[in-house]
Amino acid sequence: MVEASHLKVADLVLCMETGHAEALRAEFPAYAHKIYLFSEMVGKRYNVDDPYGRSLEAYEIMADELNQIIANGLDQIIALATAETTIQDVKRDT
């Protein structure tokens, strides 16, 4: 279960599915600016298939997809995580 304390300390929250991101934004609107889909890191907006309960091959496909998103979207991931850290630093200094 995700709690506000988890989101408070997170620089960035990446979700695999639109429904998860929307649910987190709705439940924790103060942290909505930290919540994104994994696919948004590569300039797209789609769900990464959850292989829960399926074959090892399905998990491997999902892992490969996430690896590709991370490799191709690393600059965006760093930029978003760094931006959040900078915002927190400014708030602490004021």
How many folded domains does the chain comprise? 1
How confident is the model at residue 83, as a pLDDT? 87
Instruction: With respect to residue 94, please indicate whether it lies within any of the assigned structural domains.
Output: no
7: exposed, middle or buried (C-beta count within 10 Å: 0-12, 13-18, 19+)?
middle
Query: The whole model's pTM is what?
Result: 0.84
- Averaged over successive runs of 10 residues, the pLDDT of the chain (94 residues) comes to 94 96 97 96 96 96 97 96 65 46
Instruction: With respect to residue 32, please indicate whether it lies within any of the assigned structural domains.
Output: yes
Domain that holds residue 66: 4-89
d(CA 38, CA 15): 6
How confident is the model at residue 93, as a pLDDT? 46
Q: What is the CATH number of the domain that holds 70?
A: 3.40.50.2300
Give the pair of three-digit tokens for residue 13: 């929250």
How confident is the model at residue 90, as a pLDDT? 45
